[in-house]
Amino acid sequence: MSDCIFCKIAAGGIPAKIAYEDDLVLAFHDIDPKAPTHILIIPKEHIVSAADINAENSAAAAKCLEAAAKLAAELGLADGFRLVSNCGDSAGQSVKHLHFHLLAGRDFMWPPG
Ligand code: 5GP
Ligand code: ZN
């Protein structure tokens, strides 16, 4: 997936402000934050979206959720946080590599806009 920007970030080819990394997962600060805390959590492996999670790659997706919990604890997000994955064009997915937005530091609307 040489034209995938998040694969390039995972490979170190594009710089990012890293918040967490392990063998399967990378988390980095969003370049255009929508909240005081806005971290993107991605599997290093190229998975297009949540619609493409399957028995072969679900461990990496689950590790993203584990990383979110670790980051929330580390960052002291005791007031709460939002974890969201836009899947597909009508949901507003602009980067076609699975990612979870970890958002915190302000109040969020529900239902989302
Ligand atoms: P989506 O719209 O697909 O749900 O989320 C993609 C997110 O990736 C957006 O919030 C956007 O600001 C962020 N983003 C896009 N390109 C880059 C980049 O090169 N570096 C970083 N750190 N974030 C990016
Ligand atoms: Zn990718």
* Residues 40-75 pLDDT 10s: 999 999 999 999 999 999 999 999 999 999 999 999
Q: Is 99 marked active-site?
A: yes
Distance (Å) from CA 109 to ligand 2 centroid: 29
φ and ψ at residue 29, rounded to 5 degrees: -75, 135
* Residues 67-101 pLDDT 10s: 999 999 999 998 999 999 999 999 999 999 999 99
The answer, yes or no, to whether any atom of ligand 1 lies below 6 A from the CB of 13, is no
Q: Which atom of ligand 1 is nearest to the CA of 96?
A: 3
**Three-state SS letters, the chain:** CCCCHHHHHHCCCCCCCEEEECCCEEEEECCCCCCCEEEEEEECCCCCCHHHCCCCCHHHHHHHHHHHHHHHHHHCCCCCCEEECCCCHHHCCCCCCCCEEEEECCCCCCCCC
Query: Can you give the pTM of this predicted structure?
Result: 0.98
The answer, yes or no, to whether any atom of ligand 1 lies below 6 A from the CB of 68, is no
